[in-house]
Amino acid sequence: MKKVLLVAALVAGVTAVHAQDTLKKIKDSGVITMGVRESSGLSYTIGDGKFVGYHIDVCERVVADLRKQLGGKLDIKYQPVTSANRIPLTVNGTVDLECGSTTNNAARQKDVAFAVTTYVEEVRIAVKANSGITGINQLNGKTIATTTGTTSVQTLRKHERAASVDFKEVYGKDHADSFLLLDSGRADAFVMDGSILAKNIATSKNPADFKIVGEVLAVEPIAIMLRKDDPAFKKAVDDSIKALIKAGELAKIYDKWFMQPIPPTNTKIGLPLSAATKDAWANPNDKPAEDYVAKK
């Protein structure tokens, strides 16, 4: 019996230490590593190692709160990640906060954790304005671009209106590369999160050459990704985001990046706050995409 209790105590001790790993790690090192994207709608680079965007601002505010909580110096290291490596780099501890545009879904929750939802995304289709394409049923025989490591084409294939649509897939290594496939004519459409499409169109050389068309393919919660099984760190991040929501600061950050001119071209993306995102803020949660009902 004593041996069982001893083993249980040791397991509890290991769990307690593990639960504090990230907070201890960043406090001891004085550095927190943010996973950032180079061409996402919520996180992107403007060159010279400078990363900006809605989720960058949110994560920097979270870090400011962590700095206060830990009572010491806490510098930020910006680590570029891609759709393909963002989860492995979070799992192995290279990245502490993944501040890109990652969908929270049940499959990913097996490997990582997510903070409360900060944005609810709609998966859409971008095309050339003169293409004549207005919806899914006109994609038959077309070439569709998407980004390696994302779920957008699978989402398109599962949509009820795509049942008899046959198309070819091509993959960009990142969102900028996928948009280039559309821009250069190597793809007839780019299927991706609406914010990513809008951002790439707004910051292109000729935004009027493109448009977002057709049905909403899926509604997906987007959240900051964290290492799994670290409840103390997750609570600290969640509490910070909830405080931003309560104070109206998250709404201000949203307005800054979606309704005002943004760098580097000072173009407005023009995506008003959706009812789904408002609801996610009103009821903070980390529910996966499977709990959301896609709009038809």
Are residues 29 and 96 both part of a single domain?
yes
Last residue of a domain, one of 166, 190, 219: 219
In a domain, 296, yes or no: no
Query: Does residue 202 share a domain with residue 175?
Result: yes
Amino acid at 130: N
Question: Which uninterrupted H or E stretch holds 168?
Answer: strand 168-172
Note whether residue 95 is domain-resident. Answer: yes
296 residues of the chain, pLDDT tens digit each: 433 333 344 333 333 334 449 999 999 999 999 999 999 889 999 999 999 999 999 999 999 999 999 998 999 999 999 999 999 999 999 999 999 999 999 999 999 999 999 999 989 999 999 999 999 989 999 999 999 988 788 888 888 778 788 999 999 999 999 999 999 999 999 999 999 999 999 889 999 999 999 888 888 999 999 999 999 999 999 999 999 999 999 999 999 999 999 998 898 888 889 888 999 999 999 999 999 864 44
pTM for the predicted model, two decimal places: 0.80
- Are 162 and 115 members of one domain? no
- 195-to-90, 142, 269, 292 alpha-carbon distances in Å: 23, 23, 8, 18
**Are 242 and 116 within one domain?**
yes
CATH code of the domain in which 199 resides: 3.40.190.10
Which two tokens mark 130?
């003169």
Query: Has residue 62 been placed in a domain?
Result: yes
The total of other beta-carbon atoms located within 10 Å of residue 258's CB is: 21
Write out the residue range of the structural domain in which residue 241 sits: 2-120+222-291
Spatial distance between the Cα atoms of 103 and 149, rounded to a whole number of angstroms = 11
Q: At CB < 8 A and 24+ separation, what contacts does 279-283 make?
A: 279/120, 280/116, 280/117, 280/118, 280/119, 280/120, 280/221, 281/245, 281/250, 281/251
Give yes or no: residues 89 and 207 share one domain: no
Please report where in the chains the tokens 């103390």 appear, as a residue. 232
Same domain (yes/no): 207, 167? yes
